[in-house]
Amino acid sequence: MELPKAFIENMKCILGPELPEYLESYKKPRFTGLRINTSKLSVQEFEQINPFKSLRKVPWVSNGYYYTEEDAPTHHPYYYAGLYYIQEPSAMTPAAMLPVEEGERVLDLCAAPGGKATELAAKLNHTGLLVANDASASRTKALLKNLEVFGMPNILVASEMGDRLDSYFHAYFDKILIDAPCSGEGMFRKQPHMIPAWEKQGPEVFSRMQREILNQAAELLKPGGMMLYSTCTFSELENEGSIDYFLKNHPDFHLTDIPACDGFCPGQPALVGSSFPLEKCVRLFPHKIDGEGHFLALLQRNGRKIPNASGERRRNPKLPPELEEFLQDVTMHMDRSLIQIKDTKVFLMPEGVGRYPGLRFLRSGLYMGEILKKRFEPSQAFAMTLKKEEYASVINLSAGDRRTIRYLKGETIEVEEKESARPAGWQLVCVDGYPLGWGKLVQGALRNKYFSGWRMNA
């Protein structure tokens, strides 16, 4: 691989005598990782059912693992059950280092395709609210799918520019993640095809964009709130330079420490002549860790943290009888006052979410299903949000059962009488106790209701 001369010269300024070691890292293998969905199972529970031979822990992410290609985790049923997300190990770091607590309002400002948003939602554990936003409307479709596979009900998936969000969410969020668009220098090792784009559109263009995004995010954060800025580039203009610019223009913010880990390197204020303590930032280099290049800065807004007010309580709505009948078999805790029916579609809304006229969004809350011809058809997203014990009739297949793959491909499967609590009707189909989707049992045959857009390729 031939790296641009201008890039190498700048890396020499950043790394000094370590430059040869960095260049040698291009001969290292590329690292692949998966991150456990801790809203569905603990790390210990995953390790008990781990089907992969070569997993080893990512040192700086408690629920992160390296895997090798022979493991093929995207072909395993657990992937379809939302038990883990495939993510480059360094890219796991930003969401891991943002200290999200249950019940908070959290914004992922540049969220697609959802690697970091799914971890933020898992930390919320079905409480509070995650607003997952991406300016690209086409990319929000993948974002929504990943959040639904992970079984996340407390979401608002939006597609707006940051300045537009301020009119709806001014000083609203407790935590914000900004995984900013960048020149991608940290990914050259993994994705060399990015080099020509860097030569055409380098750090200068992206730094202007990043500073605008930081300014917009500042308006959305509550006093006492925290926001984490990250890039996958090495450029000091996009990293220390953007943070220096932000702190000069926002004296009500300060940098806070990021937990130390072997291989983490401090930010370098001297690169941009900054008087701020930019060594509190973190740089990741591929010659220091088993991962790609990354930069992180954790910022906090001065002021006292104000608790989130509870949403206005409404009376429980009178639900259609077909929906009431279905919900009799569901024991998942839900506040029925938050159920909304829009035309024929049924949603469970997060507490405190209002109406946002003019806001471009793809999903608000959990899409539970649809009322059609006096029957209720539960959604794929509803199945993924449930736990096995929260539905009255379950067909629990093992990962090694051939019917599991057949189900994921959309085929009808045969079911023995003893495998279901009911001889007919809706069934929650699980793999080793973790939901995959719905099926309808008729005379020993399970009619497949697995969402066609998610099916496993033949």
Dihedral angle over CA of 440, 445, 446, 448, nearest 10:
-100
Q: Cα separation of 324 and 310, whole Å?
A: 26
Strand 155-158, strand 129-133: pairing: parallel
Q: How far from the centroid of its chain's Cα atoms is residue 422's Cα?
A: 36
Q: Cα separation of 454 and 170, whole Å?
A: 36
Please check whether residue 436 is in contact with residue 407, taking contact to mean a CB–CB distance below 8 angstroms.
yes
Secondary element (H or E) of residue 359: none
Catalytic residue status for 232: yes
All residues at 6 or more sequence positions from 47 whose CB lies less than 8 Å from its CB, including other chains: none
Please check whether residue 85 is in contact with residue 150, taking contact to mean a CB–CB distance below 8 angstroms.
yes
Tokens linked to 351 = 């507490």
Please check whether residue 297 is in contact with residue 228, taking contact to mean a CB–CB distance below 8 angstroms.
yes
Catalytic residue among 110, 182, 232, 430: 232
Please check whether residue 447 is in contact with residue 412, taking contact to mean a CB–CB distance below 8 angstroms.
yes
Tokens linked to 391 = 């539905």
All residues at 6 or more sequence positions from 379 whose CB lies less than 8 Å from its CB, including other chains: 367, 368, 369, 370, 451
Look-up of token digits 């569901």: 330
Please check whether residue 165 is in contact with residue 219, taking contact to mean a CB–CB distance below 8 angstroms.
no
Q: Cα separation of 109 and 103, whole Å?
A: 19
Active site residues: 232
